[in-house]
């Protein structure tokens, strides 16, 4: 009888976890790739977003999020001599939509006195938009339209792409309705051009003929003596770029206490 009562109480407590949460977050965004090969954190930017989560039970949930942030990188920040000579830079606004399946390491039940917190991991997919830009003579230019690695017109990379979303977080209740979520999420990209850098230098004469003098100057910004010889390495196309969000957010829970199915 006692064991049965404890199991029944435990089942009833966990049954309430089905339900929606909505909320928002603020945090930081950062980029890693051809212009940040040593994982620098010197150009972290403010970011934010909103999201909704559906809890299937005390362990599994699914979250949809819309995120906005900025990323940038400058070769002048690098300690690598070749990268300093290369002298490339970019910045971009990111608009990111993500769906992710979350797994709680501990049972998590809103308002429960014992199960009110849990670390979690997640895996999902993202669709994001980017537009790398660079400054030249106090003017900002959209790098994609200048074909800086010799792309022909109409063959430039797409600025809306997909990615694998992954990471981990920690959630803890403030009350039955409100909780704090801290999350670190990465995006493994399917492109290497979020920074407009991937392959080798093209012939600047061809770029000048197709895109004008601005295109030629944006393609090879190396310090004197110039290093941008046709075919010389400009980036590393074998490893795609990535970006990450560090988020601190508040979520509001709309679920109600539900009775176990066998009690209905």
Per-residue confidence (pLDDT) for residue 2, from 0 to 100: 37
- The ranges of the chain with pLDDT < 50 are 1-15, 260-264
Is the pTM higher than 0.95? The answer reads: no
Burial 29-42 (b: 16+ CB within 10 A, else e): bbbbbbbbbeebee
Q: What is the pLDDT of residue 124?
A: 98
- Selection from 84, 85, 86, 50 nearest residue 68 by Cα: 50
Position of tokens 């917190």? Answer: 117
Q: CA 202 to CA 148: how far, in whole Å? A: 8
Is-contact 203 219, C-beta < 8 A?
A: no
Q: Which CATH number fits domain 2-257: 2.40.160.20, 2.40.50.140, 3.30.1370.100, 3.90.1010.10?
A: 2.40.160.20
Q: What's residue 7's pLDDT?
A: 42
Q: Do 250 and 3 form a contact (C-beta atoms < 8 A)? A: no
pLDDT at 18: 79
What Cα–Cα distance (Å) separates residue 101 from each residue in 26, 125, 164, 165?
A: 21, 9, 12, 10
- Rounded to an integer, what distance in angstroms lies between the CA atom of residue 119 and that of residue 59? 11
**Quick one: tokens of 96?**
């990111």
Task: Judge contact between 221 and 9, C-beta under 8 A.
Answer: no
Structure token digits, residue 3: 């064991």
Please list the residues that pair with 248 across neighbouring strands: 26, 182
pLDDT of residue 258: 54
The most distant pair of C-alpha atoms in the chain lies apart, rounded to whole Å, by 86
Please tell me the predicted confidence (pLDDT) of residue 256: 66
pLDDT, one tens digit per residue, over 66-88 is 999 999 999 999 999 999 999 99
Angle made by CA atoms 211, 215, 216, in degrees to the nearest 5: 110
Contact by Cβ (8 Å): 208, 159 = no
Phi, psi dihedral angles at 27 (to 5 degrees): 175, -145
**Domain ranges for the chain:** 2-257
């Amino acid at each position: 009888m006692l064991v049965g009562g404890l199991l029944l109480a435990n089942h009833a407590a966990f049954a309430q976890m089905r339900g929606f949460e909505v909320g928002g977050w603020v945090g930081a965004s950062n980029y890693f790739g051809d212009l940040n090969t040593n994982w620098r954190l010197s150009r972290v930017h403010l970011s934010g977003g909103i999201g909704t989560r559906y809890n299937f039970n005390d362990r599994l949930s699914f979250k949809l999020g819309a995120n906005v942030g900025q990323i940038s990188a400058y070769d002048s920040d690098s300690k690598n001599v070749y990268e300093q000579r290369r002298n490339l830079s970019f910045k971009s606004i990111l608009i990111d939509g993500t769906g992710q399946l979350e797994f709680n390491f501990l049972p998590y039940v809103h308002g429960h006195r014992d199960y009110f917190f849990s670390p979690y991991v997640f895996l999902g997919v993202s669709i994001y938009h980017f537009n790398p830009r660079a400054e030249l003579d106090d003017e900002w230019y959209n790098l994609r339209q200048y074909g800086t690695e010799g792309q022909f017109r109409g063959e430039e990379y797409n600025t809306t792409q997909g990615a694998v979303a992954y990471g981990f977080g920690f959630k803890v209740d403030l009350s039955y309705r409100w909780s704090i979520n801290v999350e670190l999420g990465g995006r493994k990209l399917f492109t290497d051009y979020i920074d407009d850098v991937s392959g080798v230098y093209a012939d600047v004469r061809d770029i000048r003929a197709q895109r004008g003098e601005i295109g030629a100057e944006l393609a090879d910004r190396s310090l004197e003596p110039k290093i941008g010889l046709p075919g010389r390495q400009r980036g590393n196309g074998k490893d795609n770029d990535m970006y990450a969000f560090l988020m601190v957010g508040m979520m509001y829970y709309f679920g109600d206490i539900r009775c176990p199915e066998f009690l209905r």
